[in-house]
């Protein structure tokens, strides 16, 4: 069994000042940064002692990679044979030279571009530097209306192999018009997954079973959205015994780092080993496959009983196979085959079929 661990230490400062930032923008004193470094060192040493396959995602309150102790932790974790992935959410304002020492198989980045805080050309240049270094990364932007041109330009400037995701601005209900959704889908075919709050109460979630969060004191919680502790990695108890499948107790889940662990959404299948850094397993994909994939997921969500909030027109056919989390690939294939058959029929209607020889 693989553990997906989200680590959020006490670091809370950031060198950017994004208006839409959901986190407290504070300044850390030297003592606080030293304490954060000690906590991080302790966590890394704990991971080193584990004997199972582990993926770590750093989800800091602020910007971690401008701090040497996080850079060192990434390199050290990445060199551990049982750590298949170590990733971090970052604004990429750090120097990238330290990544030349990184294990290219395990170290990955979840980048967010913040228009207004940095120049697009400079950000793209840093992304290209990462590509030259062979570092895996995804790039995202908050989908505010005033960012749309930047999002398109970023997509055009980055190589097709780079997945660009868009986080929906959900604080304002019904923020997007249909044409705007279409525009964003052309950049991020999986935008609809993020555009909704997924009803979650009573539904299965890997959070608390194979995925959990750890804070600077070692306290374990199932996810960042449910405050109740379920253990502590330093208390000497068998953590594995405290991790078990349990239904979600929150009404909804609207954040990628949470709902990605809902089996019903089949996102482990979509992201594979790119789960933590948010890179789909099959990327890039063509527009037709992306549309079929989107429709398959819309059908999956629809049949799970969640209100679809108009996120995607559902397939009109009643012939698609019934769906559960194992079937999204099957449904995607079904929709692609159906599309091929339809175009074959359309071509067949136009091209006269030669009569067989008498």
Dist CA 259 CA 270 (whole Å) = 13
Nearer to ligand SF4, 79 or 117 (CB): 117
Dist CA 201 CA 76 (whole Å) = 38
Dist CA 139 CA 89 (whole Å) = 10
CB of 260 to ligand SF4, least distance (A): 8
Contact flag: residue 88 with ligand SF4 (CB under 6 A): no
CB of 41 to ligand SF4, least distance (A): 23
Nearer to ligand SF4, 28 or 106 (CB): 28
CB of 341 to ligand SF4, least distance (A): 37
**Residue-wise over 168-199: b if at least 16 C-beta within 10 A, else e?**
beeeeeeebeeeebebbbebbbbbbbbbbbbb
* Contacts (Cβ under 8 Å, ≥6 apart) of 109: 87, 88, 90, 92, 130, 135, 136, 137, 138, 277
CB of 348 to ligand SF4, least distance (A): 47
CB of 119 to ligand SF4, least distance (A): 15
Task: Judge whether 224 and 59 are in contact, CB under 8 Å.
Answer: yes
CB of 204 to ligand SF4, least distance (A): 9
CB of 49 to ligand SF4, least distance (A): 26
Number of residues interacting with ligand SF4: please give it, by CB under 6 A. 25
Q: What is the dihedral of CA 64, 29, 26, 218, to 10 degrees?
A: 60
- Kindly tell me which residue out of 11, 14, 99, 290 binds ligand SF4, with binding defined by CB under 6 A: 14
Instruction: Give the Å distances, CA to CA, from 308 to 112, 294, 297, 351.
Output: 27, 13, 11, 40
The CA angle 221-165-94, to the nearest 5 degrees, is 75
Contact flag: residue 16 with ligand SF4 (CB under 6 A): yes
Contact flag: residue 253 with ligand SF4 (CB under 6 A): yes
Of the listed pieces 160-168, 176-184, 245-253, 316-324, which binds ligand SF4 according to CB under 6 A? 245-253
Both tokens assigned to 199: 């009803």
Contact flag: residue 205 with ligand SF4 (CB under 6 A): yes
Nearest in space to 285 (alpha carbons), one of 241, 325, 321, 329:
329
Tell me which residues in 53-82 interact with ligand SF4 (CB under 6 A). 62-63
Task: Judge whether 47 and 100 are in contact, CB under 8 Å.
Answer: no
Nearer to ligand SF4, 62 or 78 (CB): 62
Tell me which residues in 97-136 interact with ligand SF4 (CB under 6 A). 114
Contact flag: residue 92 with ligand SF4 (CB under 6 A): no
Both tokens assigned to 285: 């994909």
Nearer to ligand SF4, 66 or 80 (CB): 66
CB of 351 to ligand SF4, least distance (A): 51
Which helix (H) or strand (E) segment is 290 a member of?
helix 287-303
Contact flag: residue 304 with ligand SF4 (CB under 6 A): no
List residues binding ligand SF4 (CB under 6 A): 14, 16-18, 21, 23, 25, 62-63, 91, 114, 200, 205, 207, 222-223, 225-226, 248, 250, 253, 258-259, 261-262
């Amino acid at each position: 069994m693989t553990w997906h661990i989200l680590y959020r230490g006490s670091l809370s400062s950031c060198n950017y000042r994004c208006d839409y930032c959901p986190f407290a923008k504070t300044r850390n004193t030297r003592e606080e940064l030293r304490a954060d470094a000690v906590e991080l060192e302790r966590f890394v040493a704990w991971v080193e002692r584990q004997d199972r396959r582990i993926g770590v995602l750093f989800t800091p309150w602020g910007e971690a990679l401008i701090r040497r102790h996080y850079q060192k932790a990434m390199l050290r974790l990445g060199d551990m044979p049982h750590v298949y992935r170590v990733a971090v959410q970052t604004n990429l304002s750090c120097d990238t030279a330290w990544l030349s020492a990184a294990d290219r198989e395990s170290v990955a980045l979840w980048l967010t571009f913040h228009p207004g805080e940095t120049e697009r050309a400079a950000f793209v240049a840093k992304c290209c530097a990462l590509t030259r270094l062979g570092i895996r990364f995804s790039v995202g932007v908050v989908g505010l209306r005033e960012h749309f041109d930047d999002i398109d330009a970023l997509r055009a400037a980055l190589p097709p192999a780079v997945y660009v995701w868009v986080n929906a601005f959900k604080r304002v209900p019904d923020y997007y018009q249909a044409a705007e959704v279409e525009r964003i889908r052309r950049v991020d075919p999986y935008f609809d997954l993020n555009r909704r709050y997924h009803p979650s109460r009573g539904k299965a979630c890997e959070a608390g079973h194979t995925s959990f969060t750890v804070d600077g004191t070692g306290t374990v919680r199932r996810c960042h959205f449910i405050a109740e502790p379920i253990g502590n990695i330093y208390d000497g108890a068998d953590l594995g015994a405290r991790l078990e499948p349990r239904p979600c107790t929150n009404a909804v889940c609207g954040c990628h780092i949470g709902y990605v662990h809902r089996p019903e959404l089949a996102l482990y299948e979509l992201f594979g080993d790119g789960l933590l850094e948010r890179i789909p397993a099959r990327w890039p994909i063509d527009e037709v496959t992306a549309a079929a994939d989107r429709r398959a997921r819309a059908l999956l969500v629809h049949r799970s009983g969640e209100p679809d909030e108009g996120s995607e027109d559902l397939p009109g056919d009643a012939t698609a196979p019934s769906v559960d989390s194992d079937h999204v690939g099957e449904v995607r294939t079904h929709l692609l085959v159906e599309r091929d058959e339809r175009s074959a029929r359309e071509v067949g209607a136009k091209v006269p079929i030669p009569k067989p020889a008498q």
